[in-house]
């Protein structure tokens, strides 16, 4: 039984490294007014394999192998920076990425409010 498990695991791991990037899951970092937003993802993976061989009472021989893998990729939020300040805007577990998009109008409103406050203090 020739199972090259290490080779297979290496190929799968290389594939995950290439594909499980924030850019491919949620997109590139972007600027929103004075804020820089960087998407953050969570990646989980699991692997399993097994094999065996045996001989029946009648003398027939057999062998078998099996392997499985699972990968989960989930957007969890954004790192948001403004100057020296940094905060994390969570996507929320129950709503996923939709929660982030729901919060973008609030973020835009905060940008506009900060801009108005600065204009009033400098005037």
- Token reading at 41: 């993802």
Nearest to 36 by CA among 74, 89, 73: 89
Q: What is the pLDDT along the chain (123 residues), one digit of tens a residue?
A: 455 767 877 887 787 777 777 676 667 888 888 888 888 888 887 878 788 899 988 888 988 888 777 878 788 888 898 888 888 888 765 555 666 666 777 777 777 777 777 667 666
Query: Distance between CA 49 and CA 58 in Å, rounded?
Result: 28
Q: What is the pTM of this model?
A: 0.47
- Hey, where are the domains in the chain? 5-51+65-122
Query: Distance between CA 10 and CA 65 in Å, rounded?
Result: 18
DSSP code, position 21: S
DSSP run (H or E) holding 37:
strand 35-55
């Amino acid at each position: 039984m020739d199972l090259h498990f290490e080779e297979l695991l290496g190929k799968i791991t290389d594939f995950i490294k290439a594909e499980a990037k924030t850019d491919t899951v949620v997109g590139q970092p972007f600027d929103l007014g004075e804020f820089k937003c960087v998407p953050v993802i969570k990646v989980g993976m699991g692997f399993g394999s097994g094999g065996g061989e045996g001989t029946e009472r009648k003398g027939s021989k057999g062998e078998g192998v099996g392997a499985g893998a699972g990968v989960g990729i989930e957007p969890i939020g954004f790192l948001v920076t403004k100057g020296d300040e940094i905060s994390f805007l969570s996507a929320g577990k129950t709503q996923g990425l939709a929660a982030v998009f729901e919060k973008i109008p609030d973020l835009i409103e905060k940008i506009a409010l900060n801009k108005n406050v600065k204009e009033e203090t400098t005037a």
